[in-house]
């Protein structure tokens, strides 16, 4: 019996379970209050932004309270959902009519089912912990109230995104998330690098949003509706071409939000934001939106194999891309960012696999949300104690001075590597297995990715916590963070350890999500045992290599003579260079030539017409002599012409 | 004599009146030219009345005379006003409406 | 207008009076119009226009429109043209018009255009009348209500009564407008004759008439100054122009004595003084 199978009484049913989500059921009972989920944080954001400085003293507590209230509502909903039979777990709450043009109707409606519920719990739960943590982390920032307002806005937008009942409402939340991320990444506005990073995130996200809006337009053209019910219920009636294009456009949108190749460039720069923001973006909100979109739109991808394959390819590329970048970075937050890219790549890969992968994509997303938030907050804790130093080459031996951070971070580290019985083991191994069900290439990429993940995470862990202290003299007195920061980390660390087992026990997550996403199993191309133990062996090998290599002295300045791959990875695999050369330069050139065209040709034509009219008028006005006799002569000439014309016509 | 000749005479008189309007500068003479043109059209009306054998044309000519009388009264008053202010009766003097 | 049932022959439309009358009147009318065009003086132009209008009035009568012919004479030549002459009196009769053209090319363009206009009109009329036969008879129309005036009255007060009322309103408005335009407000009270004479006595050295030239002069001519009763010479009696020219004639000593003698009451005959009373008594 292999490890996974022993812990998960795996679904023996070999027949696939069709997704059977009902988008039409009207909400009843406790579910009629689901609007409160969004209303709480939205009210917090509006109140904190409008109330001004008077609330500086206690504003952050309001933000925390609003987030916790939303979480409490989510928990109530969750238990209400568990208490109801499967058929009643999908609830739609109609709030008001938004657009009603002829037969095209888009109401503002919220839809809560098992998939949304999972996200709502993750967003509000992890989000609340990050809120609490931020109270300590941002204690000395004069703009803390504004920060909490933005955090609340972020949570509200993300909740609207996952609770939407139609693609248009989802788009609304989607843009809200983009706005909030822009505001938070460039929160330190006085730093040019932060301002630029925010702008970059915003612009790159716009590229993805184009895909989203085109997808919505295509849906409207193809199905005449943009609600989930109208689109996903009628996928069979559309041609495969239409489904493929809608799928590809949705994938473009997901790439923008989830920092997938080729729109990954903003994620590393987004580290300019405060660390709680990074945690929020990477764990609970924002980057998970793309995965949610793909899973939610599952029927479209199932009807369009090309689009589904594209999702797998994108996921696989990004998986490797992020892992390689993570191996070369010295900035602790950027390593974590590369890791996020890579893990989201896993989720995309799983989502692209179809019913065999949807559940595990969400499973990994939840597990990742916990351990990545844990590690980001841990990194924030380290920075807090190290005078905002982020270069790992100047850390070392921190396990003695930051015991709490060390223990919790280690839990996250083991979880992401996939060491049993930590959370990552259950989720990631199931993805790798599902990838092998699809074929050799995705399976091998996923398995190798796991090895690289182990390498760079161990590198980070080793350089930070073990070895000799390489602290610089500039007032670095490493110390443990206050309790208000440590407690959320501890909770997240506990979840990092246990969430995988909790969700996998008795196939809980599979049974929970199957009604929404469907589920299927196939034969893997390789034996189960080989996959299990082979992956584990690769993970351990990667970790051991990294430990042995970075346990020794690490030079404070990064070595210059390194392999081409390392140089490339240090430069984000030339993502920015590629964007600049392929998009920015030609764009600049195009803009310049358009400006030239505008100023010379268009303006020239317009000014020319004006000059012509002016010149002509200047000459014509000479006819206005002011002499009555002259005018009379013109009248007579006119009469003669008219008379001559009439006679010519008549005769 | 057939009415045709009367109409042609009317056309000649009208043209002479128009020509006078174009070449003379004294406002009073210009006005007389206008009267001559009205008379020429009246002659045409009366000639046509003769042609068609009814009195409608004569009635119209009668109205033209009445309106001409009214017009002359106002026109001459205007000429007087202009003469008082500008000390001139030339139609070329008040060319303030030029470009 | 429905065609009249009378099958009128083309001769029915021929005006009375015959070709002779027409040609005479037509030539006079055109001559008058041309004369108006070329006269330098406005009064001459006005008289030429009167000539044209009267000949047109004759043509009206020959066209079976006696009422219009009379109205033409009374209203046009009698009232309107006299109004013109009246205004000319105010503006200045002798203000003759320069015939030099000031607008470049205006005269030749006007001549050419007018010629083309006339030619086109004549062509059109000639073409049109060749194909249209006259309908009805104007004599019959005149006779229908007992005469030309009655027929016109019938039309004016039935079919054209609205136009009549509107025209009458127009006339009133025109009269009021003319008064408005020519009215000049008086800013000072009107000066009476008494005030004017007082003013003259204050201002002039000679409030009365100046002495007439040649009084008591041997040569009864304007260049000889008058002599006043005391025998002194009155230079004011000679026109200023002659004085400026130096043509004032000198006065004899004997003449002065003679005047002085007469003024003292004696008749003067060949150097002897005679009692004037006796002479008058005879």
Could you tell me where the beta strands, DSSP code E, fall in B8-93? Answer: none
Q: Is residue C21 part of a domain?
A: yes
- Distance of alpha carbon A52 from the chain centroid: 30
Give pLDDT, residue A636.
93
Q: Is residue C74 part of a domain?
A: yes
Closest in A627, A637, A647 to C113, CB measured: A637
| A633/C114 CB distance under 8 A | no
Partner C contacted by B82 (CB < 8 A): no
Buried b or exposed e, range A293-318, using 16+ CB within 10 angstroms: bbbbbbbbbbbbeebbebbbbbbbbb
Averaged pLDDT, B75-98: 78
Q: What is the pLDDT of residues A238-257, one digit of tens each?
A: 888 888 999 999 999 988 88
Number of cross-chain residue pairs from B and C with Cβ atoms under 8 Å apart: 247
Measured between CA atoms, the residue of chain A closest to residue B98 is A626
| C13/B8 CB distance under 8 A | no
Q: Is residue C184 part of a domain?
A: no
Q: Is residue C146 part of a domain?
A: yes
Q: What is the pLDDT of residues C243-258, one digit of tens each?
A: 888 777 777 777 777 7
Q: What is the pLDDT of residues A557-574, one digit of tens each?
A: 777 767 777 777 777 667
Task: Enumerate neighbours of B (3 or more CB pairs within 8 A).
Answer: A, C
Question: Model confidence at A106, in pLDDT bands (50, 70, 90)?
Answer: confident
Give pLDDT, residue C131.
64
Judged against a pLDDT cut of 70, whether residue C272 lies above it is answered with no
ipTM metric: 0.91
- For helices A483-504 and A114-137, what crossing angle results, to 10°? 160
Preferred mutation among C23, C49, C162 to probe B, highest tally of B CBs within 10 A: C49
Measured between CA atoms, the residue of chain B closest to residue A630 is B22
Q: Is residue C145 part of a domain?
A: yes
Number of domains in chain C: 2
Q: What percent of chain A has pLDDT over 90?
A: 6
Closest in A622, A627, A632 to B92, CB measured: A627
- Distance of alpha carbon C26 from the chain centroid: 25
Q: Report DSSP letters for C120-181, one per residue.
A: HHHHHHHHHHHH----S-HHHHHHHTTSHHHHHHHHHHTTTHHHHHHHHHHHHHHHHHHHHH
Task: Enumerate neighbours of A (3 or more CB pairs within 8 A).
Answer: B, C
Q: What is the pLDDT of residues C108-120, one digit of tens each?
A: 889 999 999 999 9
Q: In chain B, which residues have their Cβ closer than 8 Å to the Cβ of C102?
A: 25, 92
User: Could you give the CA distance from residue B56 to residue C34 in angstroms, rounded to a whole number?
Assistant: 31
Does residue C254 share a domain with residue C146?
no
Does residue C160 share a domain with residue C215?
no
Residue C221 main-chain phi, psi, to 5 deg = -135, 160
Q: What is the pLDDT of residues C170-211, one digit of tens each?
A: 999 999 998 888 887 777 888 888 888 888 888 877 777 776
Partner C contacted by B52 (CB < 8 A): yes
| C124/A647 CB distance under 8 A | yes
Averaged pLDDT, B12-28: 91
Q: In chain A, which residues have their Cβ closer than 8 Å to the Cβ of C123?
A: 647
Partner B contacted by A633 (CB < 8 A): yes
Q: Is residue C112 part of a domain?
A: no
Q: In chain A, which residues have their Cβ closer than 8 Å to the Cβ of C130?
A: none
Let me know: does C224 contact C249? Beta carbons within 8 Å.
yes
Let me know: does A84 contact A17? Beta carbons within 8 Å.
no
Partner B contacted by A636 (CB < 8 A): yes
Q: Is residue C127 part of a domain?
A: no
Does residue C158 share a domain with residue C50?
yes
Q: Given the DSSP bridges, would you call strands C272-275 and C266-269 parallel, antiparallel or unpaired?
A: antiparallel
Q: B40: distance to nearest CA of chain C, Å? A: 9
Question: Model confidence at A380, in pLDDT bands (50, 70, 90)?
Answer: confident
Does residue C148 share a domain with residue C70?
yes
Question: Model confidence at A285, in pLDDT bands (50, 70, 90)?
Answer: confident
Q: In chain A, which residues have their Cβ closer than 8 Å to the Cβ of C124?
A: 643, 646-647
Structure tokens at A308: 């589904």
User: Where among C130, C165, C200 does a domain terminate?
Assistant: C165
User: Could you give the CA distance from residue A631 to residue A496 in angstroms, rounded to a whole number?
Assistant: 97
Q: Is residue C196 part of a domain?
A: no
Left, alpha or beta for C96 (phi > 0: left; psi -120 to 50: alpha)? beta
Q: What is the pLDDT of residues A603-641, one digit of tens each?
A: 889 999 999 999 998 888 887 877 888 888 999 999 999
Tokens 């959902």 belong to A81
- Considering the domain B3-86 in this protein, what is its CATH number? 1.10.287.3510
Q: What percent of chain A has pLDDT over 70?
A: 94
Give pLDDT, residue A637.
93
| A629/B98 CB distance under 8 A | no
Q: What is the pLDDT of residues B26-82, one digit of tens each?
A: 888 899 999 999 999 999 999 888 888 888 999 999 999 999 999 999 999 988 888
Give pLDDT, residue A20.
66
Classify burial at C188, counting beta carbons within 10 Å of its beta carbon; exposed 0-12, middle 13-18, buried 19 or more.
Answer: exposed
Give the contacts of A214 (CB within 8 A, at least 6 positions apart). A249
Closest in C103, C113, C117 to A627, CB measured: C103
| B98/A626 CB distance under 8 A | yes
Rg (CA), chain A: 30
Q: What is the pLDDT of residues A16-69, one digit of tens each?
A: 666 666 776 777 777 788 888 888 999 988 888 888 788 888 888 888 899 999
Does residue C150 share a domain with residue C61?
yes
Measured between CA atoms, the residue of chain B closest to residue C32 is B13
Query: Which one, of A214, A288, A296, A235, lies nearest residue A257 by Cα?
Result: A288
Residue A443 main-chain phi, psi, to 5 deg = -60, -50
Does residue C254 share a domain with residue C160?
no
User: Could you give the CA distance from residue A543 to residue A452 in angstroms, rounded to a whole number?
Assistant: 9
Structure tokens at A313: 């390819």
Collapsing DSSP to helix, strand or coil, A101 comes out as strand
Highest mean pLDDT among A286-290, C124-128, C219-223: A286-290
Does residue C55 share a domain with residue C149?
yes
Measured between CA atoms, the residue of chain C closest to residue A649 is C124
Q: What is the pLDDT of residues C24-39, one digit of tens each?
A: 999 999 999 999 998 8
Give pLDDT, residue C213.
63
Does residue C153 share a domain with residue C74?
yes
Give pLDDT, residue A226.
86
Judged against a pLDDT cut of 50, whether residue A2 lies above it is answered with no
Averaged pLDDT, A252-279: 84
Give pLDDT, residue A573.
67
CA distances from residue A499 to A143, A187, A365 in whole angstroms, order as listed = 35, 32, 11
Q: What is the pLDDT of residues A168-203, one digit of tens each?
A: 889 999 999 989 888 888 888 888 888 888 888 888
B-contacting residues of C 149-188, CB under 8 Å? 151-152, 155-156, 159-160, 163-164, 167, 170-171, 173-175, 177-178, 181-182
Closest in B8, B54, B81 to C141, CB measured: B54
Judged against a pLDDT cut of 80, whether residue C134 lies above it is answered with no
CATH number of C59's domain: 1.20.120.1200
Q: In chain C, which residues have their Cβ closer than 8 Å to the Cβ of A627?
A: 103
| A640/C109 CB distance under 8 A | no
| A636/C110 CB distance under 8 A | yes
| B25/A629 CB distance under 8 A | yes
Domain ranges, residue C47: 16-93+138-165
| A624/B92 CB distance under 8 A | no
Measured between CA atoms, the residue of chain C closest to residue B25 is C97
Partner C contacted by B55 (CB < 8 A): yes
Query: Which one, of A320, A333, A374, lies nearest residue A565 by Cα?
Result: A320
Partner A contacted by C113 (CB < 8 A): yes
| A636/C121 CB distance under 8 A | no
């Amino acid at each position: 019996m292999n490890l996974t199978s022993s812990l998960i009484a795996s679904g023996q049913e070999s027949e696939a379970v069709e997704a059977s989500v009902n988008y039409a059921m009207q909400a009843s009972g406790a579910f009629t209050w689901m609007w409160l989920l969004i209303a709480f944080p939205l009210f917090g954001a509006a109140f904190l932004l409008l109330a001004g400085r008077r609330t500086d003293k206690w504003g952050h507590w309001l933000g925390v309270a609003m987030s916790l209230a939303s979480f409490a509502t989510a928990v109530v909903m969750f238990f209400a959902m568990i208490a109801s039979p499967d058929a009643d777990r999908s609830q739609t709450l109609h709030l008001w009519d938004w657009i009603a043009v002829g037969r095209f109707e888009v109401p503002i409606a919220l839809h809560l089912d098992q998939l949304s519920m999972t996200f709502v719990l993750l967003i509000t739960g992890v989000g609340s912990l990050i809120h609490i943590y931020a109270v300590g982390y941002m204690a000395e920032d004069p703009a803390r109230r504004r920060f909490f307002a933005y955090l609340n806005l972020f949570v509200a937008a993300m909740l609207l995104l996952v609770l939407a009942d139609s693609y248009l409402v989802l788009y609304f939340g989607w843009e809200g998330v983009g706005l909030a991320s822009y505001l938070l990444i460039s929160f330190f506005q006085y730093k040019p690098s932060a301002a630029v990073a925010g702008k970059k995130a915003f612009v790159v996200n716009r590229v993805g949003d184009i895909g989203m809006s085109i997808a919505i337009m295509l849906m409207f053209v193809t199905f005449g509706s943009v609600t989930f019910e109208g689109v996903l219920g009628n996928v069979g009636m559309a041609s495969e071409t239409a489904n493929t294009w809608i799928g590809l456009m949705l994938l473009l949108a997901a790439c923008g939000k989830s920092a997938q190749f080729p729109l990954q460039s903003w994620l590393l720069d987004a580290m300019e934001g405060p660390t709680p923001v990074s945690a929020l973006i990477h764990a609970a909100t924002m980057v998970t939106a793309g995965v949610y979109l793909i899973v939610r739109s599952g029927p479209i991808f199932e009807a369009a194999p090309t689009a589904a394959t594209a999702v797998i390819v994108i996921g696989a590329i990004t998986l490797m891309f992020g892992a390689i970048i993570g191996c070369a970075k010295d900035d602790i937050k950027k390593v974590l960012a590369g890791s996020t890219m890579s893990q989201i790549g896993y989720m995309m890969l799983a989502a692209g696999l179809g019913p065999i992968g949807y559940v595990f994509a969400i499973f990994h997303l939840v597990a990742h949300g916990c351990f990545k938030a844990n590690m980001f907050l841990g990194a924030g804790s380290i920075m807090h104690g190290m005078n905002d130093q982020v270069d790992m080459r100047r850390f070392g031996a921190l396990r003695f001075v930051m015991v709490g951070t060390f223990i919790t971070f280690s839990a996250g580290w083991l979880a992401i590597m996939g060491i049993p019985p930590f959370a990552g083991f259950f989720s990631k191994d199931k993805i790798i297995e599902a990838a092998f069900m699809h074929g050799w290439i995705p399976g091998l990429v996923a398995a190798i990715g796991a090895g690289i993940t182990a390498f760079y995470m161990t590198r980070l862990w080793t350089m930070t916590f073990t070895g000799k202290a390489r602290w610089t003299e500039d007032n670095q007195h490493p110390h443990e963070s206050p309790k208000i920061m440590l407690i959320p980390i501890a909770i997240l660390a506990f979840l990092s350890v246990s969430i995988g087992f909790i969700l996998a026990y008795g196939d809980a997550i599979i049974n929970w999500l199957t009604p929404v996403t469907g589920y299927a199993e196939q034969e893997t191309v390789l034996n189960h045992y080989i996959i299990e133990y082979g992956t584990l062996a690769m993970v351990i090998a990667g970790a051991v290599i990294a430990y042995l290599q970075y346990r020794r002295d690490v030079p404070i300045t990064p070595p210059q003579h390194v392999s081409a791959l390392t140089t490339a990875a240090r430069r984000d695999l030339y993502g920015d260079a590629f964007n600049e050369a392929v998009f920015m330069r030609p764009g600049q050139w195009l803009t310049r030539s358009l400006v030239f065209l505008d100023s010379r040709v268009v303006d020239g034509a317009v000014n020319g017409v004006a000059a012509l009219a002016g010149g002509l008028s200047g000459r014509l006005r000479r006819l206005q002599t002011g002499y009555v006799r002259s005018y009379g002569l013109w009248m007579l000439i006119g009469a003669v012409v008219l008379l001559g014309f009439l006679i010519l016509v008549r005769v | 004599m057939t009415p045709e000749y009367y109409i042609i005479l009317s056309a000649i008189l009208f043209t002479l009146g128009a020509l006078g309007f174009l070449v003379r500068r004294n406002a009073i003479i210009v006005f007389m030219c206008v009267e001559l043109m009205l008379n020429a059209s009246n002659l045409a009306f009366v000639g046509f009345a003769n042609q068609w054998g009814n009195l409608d044309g004569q009635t119209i000519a009668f109205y033209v005379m009445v309106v001409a009388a009214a017009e002359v009264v106002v026109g001459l008053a205007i000429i007087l006003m202009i003469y008082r202010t500008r000390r001139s009766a030339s139609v070329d003097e008040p060319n303030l409406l030029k470009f | 207008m429905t065609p009249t049932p009378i099958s009128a022959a083309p001769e029915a439309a021929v005006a009375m009076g015959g070709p002779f009358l027409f040609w005479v009147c037509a030539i006079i009318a055109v001559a008058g119009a041309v004369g108006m065009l070329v006269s330098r003086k406005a009064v001459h132009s006005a008289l030429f226009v009167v000539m044209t209008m009267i000949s047109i009035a004759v043509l009206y009568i020959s066209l079976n429109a006696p009422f219009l012919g009379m109205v033409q004479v009374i209203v046009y030549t009698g009232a309107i043209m006299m109004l013109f002459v009246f205004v000319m009196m105010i503006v200045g009769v002798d203000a003759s018009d320069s015939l030099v053209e000031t607008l470049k090319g205006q005269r030749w363009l006007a001549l050419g255009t007018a010629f083309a206009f006339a030619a086109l009109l004549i062509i059109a009329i000639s073409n049109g009348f060749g194909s249209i036969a006259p309908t009805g008879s104007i004599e019959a129309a005149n006779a229908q209500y007992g005469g030309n005036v009655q027929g016109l009255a019938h039309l004016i007060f039935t079919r054209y009564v609205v136009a009549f009322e509107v025209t009458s309103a127009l006339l009133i408005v025109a009269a009021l407008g003319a008064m408005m335009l020519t009215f000049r407000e008086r800013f000072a009270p009107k000066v009476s004759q008494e005030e004017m004479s007082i003013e003259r006595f204050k201002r002039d050295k000679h409030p009365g008439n100046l002495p007439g030239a040649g009084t008591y002069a041997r040569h009864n001519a304007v260049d000889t100054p008058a002599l006043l009763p005391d025998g002194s010479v009155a230079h004011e009696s000679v026109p200023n122009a002659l004085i400026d020219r130096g043509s004032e004639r000198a006065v004899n000593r004997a003449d002065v004595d003679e005047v002085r003698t007469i003024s003292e009451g004696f008749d003067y005959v060949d150097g002897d003084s005679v009692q004037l009373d006796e002479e008058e008594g005879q």
